[in-house]
Structure 1
Amino acid sequence: MISRSKGRSATAASAYRAAERVRDARTGEVHDYTRKDGVLHTEILAPEHAPDWARDRSSLWNAVEAIERRKDAQVSREVRVALPSELTPEQNRDLVRGFVQAQFVARGMVADIALHAPGREGDQRNHHAHIMLTTREIGPEGFGAKNRDWNAKELLVDWRSSWADHVNQTLERCHVHERVDHRTLEAQREEALERAYAAERNGDERGHVAEMARAVELDRPPLPDVGSPGLEHDAARHRHTGLRSLAGGARDWPSGPRGGAGVSGAGPRMAGAGVRPGAGSRGSAWTYPRPGDGAGAAAGRPCTA
């Protein structure tokens, strides 16, 4: 959450993410980030019944700041999502727009979207989007009460699952092999081990080795958040390369006694190892898997929706 108790404001956050100039009417402070690079697209989505000013960035977030009286007020929820590097900027824009409309705007929130390009340093597949959300329902006359139902853990899980569905449907439509999984690495690893043991019991050596290789690949710390490149990121990627080679080699083995049934049922290869366990520890921002991280992904490969 973006909270005053942490010295943050919705006006400053929105200006930074959109690379715009926003004056905070409450404090008089001017937040000018017009010289910031890497912002590919910005837009505001609001319910049809929302007043026109809700679609203007400065007016929207100043209205949010004005209605919140508490010194520790939570002024906005922020969502961060990693975008498939295989898609064009336009396709990623449509992907984010569809998800936001269905999961946030349809519930009565106003969403401020900013799509960012990878930074000059770090992984050049690191396309991502920031989504700032209002915490109060909005009507024709403006903001009403805060909707505490939006804080439910079950809803957060539903949002994670919905994002994975939106991404995977888009990747399939664009003929991209990779898929993402919204579950934690631990949950994915446990599933791979169960499949490995099942293949072993069935005498399927090829399937057993492939699933064990997948379990080993998933037995690692999650990759850092979007926008946080570091040495551990590079080290993890080198490690993954070797493990993916092992997994890939297992797929080329001759079929075992049961014809390698464990491979065909293994499920989609993970593209970038899932959501960090305990996501949300940095407030209510959460980051999704990177589709471009998986084996066989061709970064920048063109596709048509």
Structure 2
Amino acid sequence: MSFSSIYYSVVLSSKGYTALARFAYQTCAAAHDRFGRVDYRRYAGFRVGGVVLLPTGASAGFAEWENFLQEAAFRETRRNAHEGRILDFALPRAVPRALLLPLAAFTLLPFVALGMSVRLDVECVTASDDEPNPHAHAWLAQRVLERDGFGLKARSWNTLFRRSGAMAGGTCAPWLRPG
């Protein structure tokens, strides 16, 4: 029997969540945002690795995690801002640990090809059946990454995450579609 899981949402500051808190969660780190302190360091032992995926034309400097974090986490200023998209998905247990991050990155390439910048992290916790539970956490930008930082929001991307869009209909990798 196979099992797959996919979850997608928006980082909404109006709900008390920020990109900085999301990045802390994904990277198993601690952070302090305007809503308080979050600390996910206790999960560091499960973390497989992470990477920043950049679209063509983006400055290579943003591939450095610190630069990307600084630009992405502090770009939004509105109190009710949408600070990015969340995409979490399960990975096959049969995939060797060393290939989990490349597989997850490959899965997100259609979004990067459309111009989205992505912070991807993979972890492998122990599931309730004592087997590995590899899964990926991704933060997808809602703004176009230009040479000097994030520019305007690409509102056309919103359709990709509606029920009739990519997640249900075709832009993303076929194995990422809800079943």
TM-score normalised to structure 1 length: 0.48
CA positional deviation for 1:63: 2.0
State the Cα deviation string for residues 4-40 of structure 1 (Å, max 9, x = none). 011011111111211134565xx49665533423111
CA distance in 1, matches of 2:18, 2:146: 23
Partner of 1:265: none
* Richer in helix (by share): 1
Which has the bigger relative contact order, CA under 8 A and spacing at least 6?
A: 2
Q: 1:8 to 1:50 in 2, by over 3 A?
A: same
CA distance in 2, matches of 1:59, 1:23: 18
2:67 aligns with one of 51, 55, 59: 59
Higher alpha-carbon Rg:
1
2:19 aligns with one of 7, 10, 13: 10
CA positional deviation for 1:160: 7.2
CA distance in 2, matches of 1:107, 1:87: 27
**What CA RMSD, in Å, does the superposition of the two structures yield over aligned residues?**
2.6
1:156 aligns with 2:156: no
CA distance in 1, matches of 2:171, 2:55: 22
1:79 aligns with one of 76, 79, 87: 87
State the Cα deviation string for residues 196-252 of structure 1 (Å, max 9, x = none). xxxxxxxxxxxxxxxxxxxxxxxxxxxxxxxxxxxxxxxxxxxxxxxxxxxxxxxxx
1:93 aligns with one of 95, 98, 101: 101
CA distance in 2, matches of 1:106, 1:164: 18
Partner of 1:136: 143
CA positional deviation for 1:47: 2.1
CA positional deviation for 1:60: 2.2
Structure 2 unaligned regions, length at least 5: 1-9
SS in 2 for 1:117: strand
Whichever residue aligns with residue 11 of structure 2, its letter is I
SS in 2 for 1:63: helix
CA distance in 1, matches of 2:98, 2:133: 16
Q: 1:17 to 1:159 in 2, by over 3 A?
A: farther
* Richer in strand (by share): 2
CA distance in 2, matches of 1:87, 1:160: 24
Where does 1:75-224 land on structure 2 (aligned, <5 Å)?
Answer: 75-101=83-109, 103-119=110-126, 121=128, 124-152=131-159, 153=162, 154-158=165-169, 162-164=173-175, 182=177
CA distance in 2, matches of 1:94, 1:126: 17
Count of matched residue positions in the alignment of Structure 1 and Structure 2: 165
CA distance in 2, matches of 1:116, 1:8: 21
Runs of 4+ in 1 over 6 A off after TM superposition: none
